[in-house]
Chain A
């Protein structure tokens, strides 16, 4: 049965492996020469975009053709009248497809891990000043293990939608916005709250060095003693006495904007508060986000397997 599950998706899986090897080759060769100084030559927007897009596109593509591809060509009338049940058929196909995707994305994960440590960056601060921290989304999303979760989720989405939409092209078109929506939802509303963020406060607004490695969530000016806004107020609302002070001071002192702000903060018993996820939360957040997407994938695949018997051939 493994041969059957492999052979009916052979083209899609070979494309997956081919693309993964290409990416792996690129990562491996650039990783041999990357260092602190030339990292930005390699860590371009284009490269990051490729790492964002490819696992999703490939995952959805393989998933969409798994069921919808057969329904579109009516080969399910052949496949579902042989000697095995529809569920068996689907489970085997899913196992082989998911297996290849996990292995391919796993390979990428390992290489990227090696690459970031070879550049000695982990993209944390260097002697020359802060560089982009590792837990910030644009880096978080393409390092660590989350790519495996994203690829698996994309695959599961393609499979599950394919059982309903029944045409691979339309399945792909429907899956892409759902995938993007899910990713954005998790990044914006779930990831910041998985672990309680740390807060840093200072009376003068000078950033602590540890903030350079963290992921800035919110910042604002709050009364001393508070580390979060008053109920009903947002982070960006400035306290009234502060704004009053600013406009009053404007007329009185010909100071720089910065010193005027610092003065008004201190005088009104306020302080600067920064809410952030520290770098130490990187791996727990990676694990949690991967688990979320893998769980969603398992749920979608389970629904597909449960629902396959209801498809009218």
Chain B
């Protein structure tokens, strides 16, 4: 039996006047995953996260979190999600202690010890005014608020942006630990693909307001190949393969291909792309892939 996906969207769309911020987004994200949500600026990542968090109403489509439709579950729904906005809004006049008190008073499931432990590990002074902290420290306070809420689904919009490399790594450890301990699901929107590659096990590529690719990381990497060879050589691809993107430098061409079967004869290199190369390939070739490509669709992918 397929377990309930943690986050499910069906044809989710959001339009602002004439532009589509998110279009026909259909996702089914299994529980217990750390999901990388990648894409260029203005691809719709933030809008998607805001819709999942209940801040923005979709123009059309459905959202289901832990199996419950977002429309009907309200206060309960808010208890299931933790959201960190890109701008990391906090009340600048509050002290850190007051900010934690705010979290405690507005969240039924608040874990005060966790919040204090998290901030103590980072040596963030509790009596300091939020406005006087550095950008990185403010980001950590905002993260502490999300984590102490212990929600089953965490929606983080660029959480690493203000953090130094050590803090970034520590954050990834914290998230991994939370997934292992509490079996939460984390959606991370980020540009730092290299960071994500080590931690995430599910990827969603969003570009031009549409989902270009969504699937388990292992499957994605297993089904994509980078073909490197001479630019003027043609090649035969198996019938179930598609070219995602191709770039040429001089007489060399490198082509990202999505395929289910092994590539046939090819005089050149066939290598396993890194996550970064896959993502870049999809972002470059995005015009050619309107309509979601869901890895493992129709094969019980949610269960994998």
Contact = CB atoms under 8 A, between A and B. Distances in A.
Interface of A: 1, 3-4, 7-8, 10-11, 73-85, 88, 310, 312-313
Contact of B81 (A73, A81, A313): A81
B90 A75 contact: yes
Contact of A4 (B79, B89, B105, B109): B105
22 contacts: A1-B105, A1-B106, A3-B101, A7-B98, A10-B93, A74-B85, A76-B55, A76-B89, A77-B87, A81-B55, A82-B102, A82-B103, A82-B106, A82-B107, A83-B75, A83-B78, A83-B79, A83-B107, A84-B75, A310-B57, A313-B55, A313-B56
Nearest to B81: A81
B54 interface: yes
A82 B89 CA distance: 13
B149 interface: yes
B74 A83 contact: no
Interface string B78-115: 11011101010111111000100111011111100000
B244 interface: no
Contacts of B105: 1, 3-4
Contacts of B145: 78
Interface residues of B, number: 34
Contacts of B149: 82-83
Nearest to B55: A313
A73 to B, nearest CB: 7
A84 B102 contact: no
B89 A74 contact: yes
B90 A4 contact: no
Nearest to A10: B93
B91 A83 contact: no
Contact of A85 (B78, B90, B108): B78
Contact of A81 (B54, B87, B93, B98): B54
Contacts of A1: 105-106
B228 to A, nearest CB: 44
A68 to B, nearest CB: 15
Given A7-B94, A7-B98, A313-B50, A80 B55 contact: yes
Nearest to A82: B106
4 tightest A-B CB contacts, nearest first: A313-B55, A82-B106, A83-B107, A81-B83
A73 B109 contact: no
Contact of B108 (A74, A79, A81, A83): A83
A73 B106 contact: no
B53 interface: yes
Interface in B110-163: 110, 142, 145, 149
B89 A78 contact: yes
A3 B142 CA distance: 20
B82 A81 contact: yes
Contacts of A313: 50, 55-56
A73 B92 CA distance: 10
Contacts of B93: 10-11
Given A4-B102, A84-B106, A85-B78, A78 B56 contact: no
Contacts of A83: 75, 78-79, 106-110, 149
